[in-house]
Amino acid sequence: MRTLRRYLVREILLATALVMGALLLLFAFFDLVEQIRDLGRGNYQMRHMVRHVLLSLPGHVYQIFPIAVLIGTLFALAQLVASSEYTVMRTSGVSVMRLMGMLMSAGAILAALTIVFGEYIGPYCDQLAQRLRSRALTGIVLQEFRSGLWLKDDRSFVNVREVGNDGSLKGVRIYEFDEGLRLRAVSAAQSGVYQGGQRWMLSEVSRTTFTEARTTVNKLPSQAWTTVLDPELLNVMMVKPAQMSAARLLSYSQHLRDNRQKSLRYEIALWTKIAYPIAVLTMMILALPFSYFQRRQGGVGGRIFAGIMLGLLFYLLNQLSAHLGLLNEWPPQASALAPTALFLCLALGMLWRQERR
């Protein structure tokens, strides 16, 4: 039985790796097409584009892990069914529950890889890719902390507490330094609205100027601010919740609650991260009855197509559930776990039906 388990695990891991490689090539091609439009803008050259695409791949690995596992497991099991190995295993006394246990051995490895990519490799590489692109396009670097978004623009450091959905800024602080890196002025504004042409209009500004002789504070109802920063760059550089690790999502959600701000978006993303390894195991359970159920209804190609459709359905349901949960303010656990629970019930129902037959 141990030999059979190793054989099944090896076949599933190999098939999943091949499917993952094919999907990553497809995603890399789409990323290249998308990045070509920025080629030549600023200092963005071919080498930056290639590095950005390569650094984006670990994030894609995490996103498509359940789909790749489903298709890979379907392919491996379909091959066993086509060569009658599956039938031999069943007639030799291997029950469906024991086969499920063998699948879970491979599933544990794949779920662990999902956690590694989702918690460490993916977020780190996504941040590197965003910084690389920003530095090449505009020459400025942004970084998000608990205190907000920080960026360096020439000899100025800018802190933005919050970026609105419309691209407006709230809680803007600008620290201006001279060539000797001495602080010369600090401007604090309640809000900022983009006027176009790299020009912002800051409202309710308090500007403190430092000289060798004295310190001067001026309060202005509004002030123009010229910078290379624009709303498009902010939207690109603001880290999306799906690209954050679970630990960071938990910390940031707590930070928002402590400051009486809405944290539902980040809580849904956190529970989605928690549900993803479970989704990998669910996809493997679903592949077991589905591959055998379809043995007379098409060859391996038909099963692969069915796996792709199921994987896309799972991905779309995940996105739909998250957006509906955010709009209707559903509990984040329900919004994140509902698609996985639905597919798990489908898999168990198909297993029960197969056993009754």
For residues 51 and 168, state if they share a domain: no
Q: Are strands 183-196 and 156-163 parallel, antiparallel or unpaired?
A: unpaired
- Could you give the CA distance from residue 259 to residue 122 in angstroms, rounded to a whole number? 28
Same domain, 338 and 297: yes
Indicate whether 174 belongs to any domain: yes
In a domain, 99, yes or no: yes
Distance between CA atoms of residues 332 and 193, nearest Å: 32
| Residue closest to 306 by CA, chosen among 287, 323, 325, 321 | 287
Q: Which residue, of 227, 248, 264, is where some domain finishes?
A: 227
Q: Do residues 161 and 39 share a domain?
A: no
Residue 235 lies inside a defined structural domain of this protein:
no
CA 4, 90, 98, 278 torsion: positive or negative?
Answer: positive
Same domain for 260 and 119? Answer: yes
Instruction: Round to whole Å and give the CA distance between 30 and 276.
Output: 24
Strand partners, 144: 149
Give, in degrees to the nearest 5, the angle at Cα 241 between 327 and 165. Answer: 55
> Which residue is it, tokens 């020459």?
139
- Cβ atoms of 48 and 36 within 8 Å: the answer is no
Residues 123 and 171 reside in one and the same domain:
no
Residue 330 lies in a domain: yes
Q: What are the pLDDT digits (tens) for 144-162?
A: 556 678 877 778 888 988 7
Domain presence at residue 194: yes
Q: Which residue, chain included where needed, has tokens 């890196």? A: 181
Confidence at residue 161, expressed as pLDDT on a 0 to 100 scale: 81
Query: Could you say which of 227, 248, 275 is where a domain stops?
Result: 227
Q: How far apart are CA 203 and CA 172, in angstroms?
A: 10
What is the Rg, in whole angstroms, of the alpha carbon atoms belonging to the chain?
26
* Gap between the Cα atoms of 137 and 45, Å rounded: 9
Whole-number pLDDT of residue 147:
67
Helix (H, G, I), strand (E, B) or coil at 319: helix
Q: How many residues does the chain have?
A: 357
- Domain interval for residue 61: 2-138+240-356
Question: How many independent structural domains does the chain possess?
Answer: 2
83 shares its domain with 38: yes
* CA–CA distance, 197 with 38 (Å, rounded to integer): 18
Do 160 and 81 lie in one domain? The reply is no
The verdict on 339 and 275 lying in the same domain is: yes
Q: Would you state the pLDDT for residue 141?
A: 58
Residue 217, strand partner residues: 208
- 147 & 130 share domain: no
* Sign of the torsion formed by the C-alpha atoms of 141, 36, 239 and 189: positive
Residue 233 lies in a domain: no
Closest CA to 63 of 213, 217, 242, 238: 242
CA 236, 237, 240, 243 dihedral sign is positive
200 close to 169: Cβ distance less than 8 angstroms: yes
Q: Please give the chain's pLDDT, 357 residues, in tens.
A: 788 889 999 999 999 999 999 999 999 999 999 999 888 887 889 999 999 999 999 999 999 999 999 999 988 988 888 788 877 887 888 877 888 888 899 999 999 999 999 999 998 898 888 878 877 876 665 555 566 788 777 788 889 887 765 678 888 999 999 888 889 999 999 999 999 888 899 999 999 999 888 899 999 999 999 887 777 666 555 667 888 888 888 887 886 787 676 889 889 999 999 999 999 999 999 888 876 654 545 556 676 777 778 888 998 999 999 999 989 999 999 999 999 999 999 888 888 887 776
Q: pLDDT tens-digit profile of 242-289?
A: 888 888 888 878 867 876 768 898 899 999 999 999 999 999 998 888
The three-point CA angle 200-202-203 to 5° equals: 150
Q: Which of 227, 254, 278 is the last residue of a domain?
A: 227
Indicate if 118 and 219 belong to the same structural domain.
no
Angle at 74 between CA 68 and CA 76, to 5 degrees: 100
Statement to judge: residues 287 and 151 lie in one domain:
no
The encoded tokens of residue 332 equal 């984040």
Determine the Cα angle at 345 with ends 99 and 306, to 5°. Answer: 75
Using DSSP, state whether 138 is helix, strand or coil. helix
Considering the domain boundaries, does residue 11 fall inside one?
yes
Q: DSSP secondary structure string, 27-40?
A: HHHHHHHHHHTTTT
* C-alpha 204, offset from chain centre: 37
Same domain, 123 and 247: yes
Enter the tokens of residue 136: 């090449």
Q: What is the largest CA-CA distance in the chain?
A: 93
Residue 86 lies in a domain: yes
CA dihedral 180, 185, 188, 194 (to 10 degrees): -70
| Residue 180 backbone dihedrals phi, psi, to 5 degrees | -90, 10
The whole-number pLDDT of residue 94 equals: 80
